[in-house]
Amino acid sequence: MRNDDLFFKYGSTIAIIGGGPAGTFFTHFAARYAKESGIDVSIKIFDRKNFCMKGPQGCNMCAGVISENLFNKLEEEEIQIAQYCVQRKIEAYSFVTPDDWVSLHHPVPEHIPRIVTVFRGNGPLLSSYEDNVSFDDFLLNHVQNQGAEVIPEIIKELKLSPKQGGPVKVIYGEGASRIECEVDLVVGAFGVNTGMMERLGKMNFGYKPPKTVRTCQCEIMLSNDHIERVFGNRVFVFALGNKDIKFASITPKAGYVTVNLVGRTDLTRNNLIDFLNHQAVRKLMPKEWEIPKSFCTCISKIPVSYAKHPFADRVVILGDASISRTYKSGIEAAFNMAKLSAYSAFKNGISERAFMNGYFKPAKRLLARDNVYGIVMLKINDYISSKRWMANTQIKMIKSEKDLKTANQINEILWNMLTGNVPYKEIFFKALNLHLISRIFPVIGVAWARQKWEPVHAWLRGHRYVHNE
């Protein structure tokens, strides 16, 4: 048997490492394609994490925003997000500088976005939720109802078969409970915050994990009344000119707001404290509010590149540990890649060649190439955000009633950048619109001149004052 002729057969077993969205989405699609193919397969999901637990122990460390695209795709798959998972519906984004702010809206007038916020685990560490609110547990229950078996164990070791095309040996459990079994396919859906990336890298089939950067996130408890009055159904995004912070947001939920910081390099708790103490942030908090001595926080990794060779005979890696969208829509990217890899496994086979041609090459076309445009747009956004006068000028143009066309164009670009609503490539070419460029550059030029001459004007005003005295 040639290794590029490997296919599922009746009674095949799939071992999925990781019970988060990437793993559960793959399970969902595998169950569908197995049924369509008339093949009975056994699916086992390995994850020791209990998503019913509060705090970092039950959480996959994410801001927890379900994009409109993903919401609609889940609905098409007849996966209706349970109401108990939905913490708040998001209708707008607020772009904030130290001096000003503006509300960003969906580019289509009158359209109400289907964006919701969730907790990945069962709420923050000190929360008092009586019922389970975990989005990840909701997805896990969904695939269990489809017949998947969840094994609350960490996989200790994986062994590729010495025989070409042979099954993969999976080893899990402790001591006398140690179990070895052979499976037909291993799906790596373990993310970038476990040691599994390094473990698979040592298996010598060519896998090299993506580069990562450490982010910082916390949950701040606030009254529902304050959240409703100040935050409402808006995610707040900040351009504060902080050289260490690439992206900063506050996402409202029920009884909490989630603070999410992404740095140019690894962030620490000190970066979080500095952000919370910023005047623009404190304005959104209650009058006498002080940073709590104890609150739910985590320092987690996110990918900033894609993996090399995340596949082998009977092995495929997806999600953040493989290829994802740069800085945005990680859960939606996991959905898309899970669907693509599951389809390829059942239609093209489970050989190295099949995964290369049916999964990874299409994935790179969809995401990696688009991420190039994303990196360009993000660098432009970083530059604007780092220059206080430019960020303020941008806000003034969005607020302008004299040139609604330009205001709407800038609003659309920022909305799509923040929500991940469309590919980066589409945003990039919208930003190259000649009308937009012709309107922006003169305004920026004037603002730049004023900013440069302001110290001189201030000196002259002071000099005149002294002279008159």
CATH topology of domain 3-49+71-81+131-210+307-371: FAD/NAD(P)-binding domain (3.50.50)
Name every residue whose Cβ is closer than 8 Å to that of residue 370 and which is 6 or more positions away in sequence: 325, 423, 424, 425
The helix/strand count (H/E) of the chain reads as 15, 19
Which parts of 348-423 fold into alpha helices (H)? 352-355, 361-363, 369-386, 388-399, 404-419
319: Cα separation from own chain's centroid: 10
> Cα dihedral sign for 232, 238, 244, 247?
positive
Q: With beta carbons less than 8 A apart as the criterion, state whether 174 and 124 touch.
A: no
Q: With beta carbons less than 8 A apart as the criterion, state whether 309 and 206 touch.
A: yes
Determine the pLDDT at residue 1. 42
Q: Count CB atoms within 10 A of the CB of residue 99.
A: 11
Q: What is the DSSP letter of 209?
A: P
Q: What is the pLDDT of residues 40-71, one digit of tens each?
A: 999 999 999 999 999 888 888 788 999 999 99
- Residue 429's alpha-carbon distances to 161, 230, 241, 422, in angstroms, are 48, 35, 26, 12
Biggest alpha carbon–alpha carbon distance for the chain? 98
- What is the residue type of 65? V
Q: Of 315, 311, 307, 321, which is closest to residue 368 (Cα–Cα)? A: 307
What is the distance between the alpha carbons of residues 469 and 465, in angstroms, rounded to a whole number?
Answer: 6
Determine the pLDDT at residue 271. 92
- Sheet of 155-159: strand order equals 155-159, 168-172, 179-183
- Report the phi/psi class of residue 147: left, alpha or beta, with left for phi > 0 and alpha for psi in -120 to 50: left
369: Cα separation from own chain's centroid: 18
Determine the pLDDT at residue 60. 82
Q: Half-sphere exposure of residue 86, counting CA atoms within 13 Å on the CB side?
A: 13
Find the helix or strand (DSSP H, E) in which 58 lies.
none
Phi and psi at residue 460, in whole multiples of 5°? -65, -40
SS3 (DSSP) at 23: helix
306: Cα separation from own chain's centroid: 14
CATH topology of domain 90-129+211-303: D-Amino Acid Oxidase; Chain A, domain 2 (3.30.9)
Please indicate whether the domains covering 3-49+71-81+131-210+307-371 and 90-129+211-303 agree at the CATH topology level.
no
What is the distance between the alpha carbons of residues 321 and 305, in angstroms, rounded to a whole number?
Answer: 10
What is the distance between the alpha carbons of residues 312 and 310, in angstroms, rounded to a whole number?
Answer: 7
Question: For the chain, how big is the Rg over CA atoms in Å?
Answer: 25
Tokens of 395: 């806000």
Q: What are the per-10-residue average pLDDT scores of the chain (469 residues)? A: 75 97 98 96 96 88 92 97 96 94 94 95 86 94 97 94 92 90 97 91 93 92 96 95 89 95 89 94 94 88 94 97 90 96 97 97 93 90 82 89 89 94 92 81 61 55 52
What is the distance between the alpha carbons of residues 259 and 245, in angstroms, rounded to a whole number?
Answer: 13
SS3 (DSSP) at 156: strand
Determine the pLDDT at residue 222. 95
SS3 (DSSP) at 82: coil
What is the distance between the alpha carbons of residues 426 and 232, in angstroms, rounded to a whole number?
Answer: 30
Q: What is the pLDDT of residues 291-306, one digit of tens each?
A: 988 888 888 899 999 9
- In the chain, what are the domain boundaries? 3-49+71-81+131-210+307-371, 90-129+211-303, 374-468
Tokens of 369: 């190439």
Q: What pTM, to 2 d.p., does this model score?
A: 0.91
SS3 (DSSP) at 150: strand
